[in-house]
Chain A
Amino acid sequence: MSVAGPTVEDMTEQRVRWTAEQVLALAPDAASRTAGSKLGTAGPWSETGSGEGTVWGRCRGSGSRPYQTVVDLAGPAYTCSCPSRKFPCKHALGLLLLWAGGDGAAPVSAEPPGWAGEWLAARRGRVEATAARTEGGSASGPADPEAARRRAERRAERVTAGATELEQRLADLLRGGLASAEQAGYGAWDETAARMVDAQAPGLAARARELGAIPASGPGWPARLLEECALLHLLDQGWLRRDTLPDALAATVRSRLGLPAPADGPPVRDHWLVLAQYDTVDAKLTTRRIWLHGAGSGDTRLLLSYGAAGRAPELSLPVGLALDAELSGHPGAGRARASLGERHAPPAPAAFRPPGVSTADAADRYGAALRDDPWLESVPVTLERVIPVPDGETWQLADADTDTALPLTRTARSRPGLWRLTALSGGAPVTVFGECGHRGFTPLTAWAAGTDEAVPLC
């Protein structure tokens, strides 16, 4: 760096800029993406600037006063004076696109203007206060440990009542035969699921609800229904006999049941590469999964965040960036779930990719993980030197150097990402990160040979 002329500085400046895809990945929906793209040009913007992980600007809209938009890249967090309830709004997206596009549209400046500075100062103050509170909080503990213990006990009783009822329901089903389930439809299971919600066992509720959908899921449904009934039975039994289980397995059972378990692992600071981010949406909740890979630790961790009824979860990290941050693990074996702690620097483009394994190793890894968590649907795996190959109506990822392959899951086959993956490969080996489980492999991100550019597939 010391030899450096302005060129290296330019590169550094360019290096921390995100790409348009990474910005657009933050959009809460397709309409915002389009609207944001249109604002990603110099035209409506004034007083734009950037510096120290923040970007700001004023955007002329339909009203007489321009909107004031500020983005804190470290969050990323956004504020905008527009009335939109989308998050981030199209102005924040447009501003980021403008900044990502370079061409001096958001020049680096020492001091943000007053309207941006205020929000940033307030936000940073709040973040620090939260951090301080967390540090202080762990020492003092809950206000009334006795009351908390009583609450936990009451909840455990309810869950036990729920699990017992569910066992009864499953036994009745097996006594009468699965064949009758085809006529029963969703209704009965939805009712059971509602009762599990009342029993404060959301994990049981979700599994019960899914049982209702299996008879309509096509050929082979009886076997799938028996498998899922058996695993639900296993979970019930795990809870009812939790006192006899090893601690780690008991913690897994609790987390599978959906009992709250705050992240209590030691914070691990690392350069965490954002491997993938995707949402699953149901009527009430949007669940966002973000997979991270630690450059130093080699660990793969999952961040979960939620958004209510059609709103995007707040946490959003662009694929291909790496952040210098601390993660703390949640209890529960076999699950890589973590919470994001302190962030030491804004996300910046990463010049590395996770090391990968063969398809056989990936299958082994899933099998081994079931030892600690028999309810596991899939494990995160990076495959190295694989080629997407059409196989009749389906697709697979085939090892370039051996004769084995992992089939793609049904979800993966219907996504446009399959075609991006195929185009990226062009019949040549690529590196693919995804989830490997008993239904097959779901590709989430890919890297072509000889480049560190991560191509999102979901």
Chain B
Amino acid sequence: MANRPEKEIGIKLDPMLFELLAKFQEIELEDVEMDVGDLEIWLQPSATAISQITPKLITPKAKPTTIIEVEFTPPLEQYPGQIVEVKLGATKSEGGTRGRNIILGGEKSPAFCMFENPMPNPPVISLDVFDMRIPLAKAVKMHVAEVMEDPAAWAKLAVEKFGADMVTLHLISIDPLQKDTSPEEAVKTVEEVVQAVDVPLIIGGCGDPKKDLAVFEKVAETFSGERFLLSSITHDMDVEKAALTAKKHGHVVLSFTPMDMNLARELNRKLYEFIPKDHIVMDTTTAALGYGLEYAFTIMERARLAALMGDQELQHPMSSGTTNAWAAREAWMKMAPEWGPRELRGPIWETITALTLLFAGVDLFMMMHPAAVKTLKDVVNELLSGHSGRAERIAEWITVRT
């Protein structure tokens, strides 16, 4: 355990007391005013005299006249656990075709306790790309309208214009309830995106455990060695098959569970039988601001603290489907004018959802709106920059003319 402040005080008590005494100028005893001469007489070390005085009277209330300096040592903690590092994407020399790889995790402290331990790897943003036209909020659509039917162009826009670190290709057309496209068609789409951008990729399924597995198998094999993040592996999937597929072809997996720490542990435990721990990123579900965000936040924060305290089954980088912020009707709906245009309300909704989870410990954000992406990136860069603020400047907020 780190230095506790009271210990410091204990050691420094004597000089401090001296300082205190030296600084007292005005002395008040209850409501009676008296000069220092009187006091000296009172404080004569005469046992009988003192015993007749009530304790209140011998403890003068005195006001300091200069600042009493006390020490301060930051309350540092040590944690027995550490988050594993998971590498996404493989470069040519690593057996893939990506321009760079990205490392997630590695934390030794709770999120952004930078006074304790530096963040080993900055949180990363992956932008959503869909393989078919889907209904999008107006505020998002206005930025991607041109590319909505071309996943490769969409991915390029996300990386080159919006600054995405990664791209998530959501293969929703494979859904048996949608177009039910074949694994071969999915491979074609992945190929287009692989050609269009050289960032590490996340391959997203449609949510149907059987179909997703079939597609993951085909994609994993075709793009062997690319170190894709397969999103996602769930309890109702054939976990063994999915994990072995990823391992065999050099990919990593997203372990997705529904807002329950025990289910997260359980799925991770199952995965450990087939795949190394540093091949697993976990997602405990993101709910939108106003629609259960507090559950998502608290489960992530608890999971991260438990991991640092030594819970081996939760020591994984965390991912968040931050795009879920758009499920909040306040994010996309036209409201009365006093609530402002949805073009602002929507992206700020996604931004605040992301920042809330940033402090819970999320390492990987899957996002949608370019303004939210830019803000999160700016904030993370600023937090990790090591720049200090100018104290005299912020005092001016009182007099600033807006």
Instruction: Indicate whether A and B interact.
Output: no
